[in-house]
Amino acid sequence: GDSVTQMEGPVTLSEEAFLTINCTYTATGYPSLFWYVQYPGEGLQLLLKATKADDKGSNKGFEATYRKETTSFHLEKGSVQVSDSAVYFCALLVKGAQKLVFGQGTRLTINP
Amino acid sequence: DVKVTQSSRYLVKRTGEKVFLECVQDMDHENMFWYRQDPGLGLRLIYFSYDVKMKEKGDIPEGYSVSREKKERFSLILESASTNQTSMYLCASSRFGTAKPNNEQFFGPGTRLTVL
């Protein structure tokens, strides 16, 4: 079945470090891909998305590129801030389906 | 902005109680979803609804039921709460009745349910 695998956390970095959170997927057809972020005490909010191969989603300094050949959608940021501390979820939506399939989430902590 | 609200942020119930979790969205979305979130397991879909009075089982429907009598409201019901249903419950909604490539889901703040 369709599935998403994220790198295991927790991930702890210092402020201004480079961030990569790996995400790979298995899906029938060509899904749309999403990164959601959950700040402490809040629900999930969409961070960025990509709907077809080679698309790059970007928002708030974060980027992810839809790589069909490696079935990946890794999240990157060049210089993280303390305010980026949150749980990050990778997700896919198979075309014709109603529901998102989520990875297990990666907790990110940024130290000043 | 889309707003999804949930009736309680924190809830404590006893084993065997009937529990209702309410979710309301204010943007006339067709789809609504209930997930539970557990550490290391991510979000797992319990039920979803694509129209009033319509529902479909998600990945883990056992022990739960849902009700959607009005378009803006989607209720999750635990008929007889058990300790293994202690979790964070998240409600979400999305606009289109059929899947679109960029069909974003909007989430509520969550209800942390503890069953003693």
- Over residues A8-64, the pLDDT tens digits come to 889 999 999 999 999 999 998 889 999 999 998 888 999 999 988 999 999 999 999
Q: Please, is B33 exposed, middle or buried when counting C-beta atoms within 10 Å of its C-beta (0-12, 13-18, 19+)?
A: buried
DSSP reduced 3-state for A106: strand
Alpha-carbon torsion (A58, B36, B87, A3), positive or negative: negative
Q: Which one of A36, A100, A101, A104 makes the best mutation probe of the B interface by having the most chain B beta carbons within 10 Å?
A: A100
Q: Which residues of A touch B43 (CB under 8 A)?
A: 44, 89, 100, 102, 105
Residues A73-91 have a mean pLDDT of: 97
**In B, what residues contact A, Cβ < 8 A?**
4, 31, 33, 40-45, 48, 50, 56, 58, 90, 92, 98-99, 101-110
pLDDT at position A69: 94
**Residue labelled with tokens 């927790």:** A10
pLDDT at position B95: 83
Q: Which one of B36, B98, B102, B106 makes the best mutation probe of the A interface by having the most chain A beta carbons within 10 Å?
A: B102
Say which residue, A2 or A80, is predicted with more confidence.
Answer: A80
pLDDT at position A112: 94
**Residue labelled with tokens 């943007």:** B27
Say which residue, A72 or A28, is predicted with more confidence.
Answer: A72
- Over residues A90-103, the pLDDT tens digits come to 999 877 667 789 99
Which of B33, B42, B102 is the closest to A105 by Cβ?
Answer: B42
pLDDT at position A30: 82
Residues 28-67 of A with CB under 8 A from B: 32, 34, 36, 41-46, 49, 51-52
Residue A6 has pLDDT above 90, yes or no: yes
pLDDT one digit per residue (tens) for chain B, 116 residues:
668 999 999 999 999 999 999 999 998 898 999 999 998 888 999 999 988 988 999 989 999 999 999 999 999 999 999 999 999 999 999 886 555 556 788 899 999 999 99
Contact A43, A87 (CB under 8 A): no
DSSP reduced 3-state for B61: coil
- Cross-chain Cβ contact B101/A93 below 8 Å: yes
Task: Report how far residue B116's alpha carbon sits from residue A68's, in angstroms, rounded to the nearest whole number.
Answer: 46
Say which residue, A1 or A82, is predicted with more confidence.
Answer: A82
Contact A92, A36 (CB under 8 A): no
**A88 Cβ partners below 8 Å, 6+ apart?**
A6, A21, A35, A36, A37, A38, A47, A75, A105, A106, A108
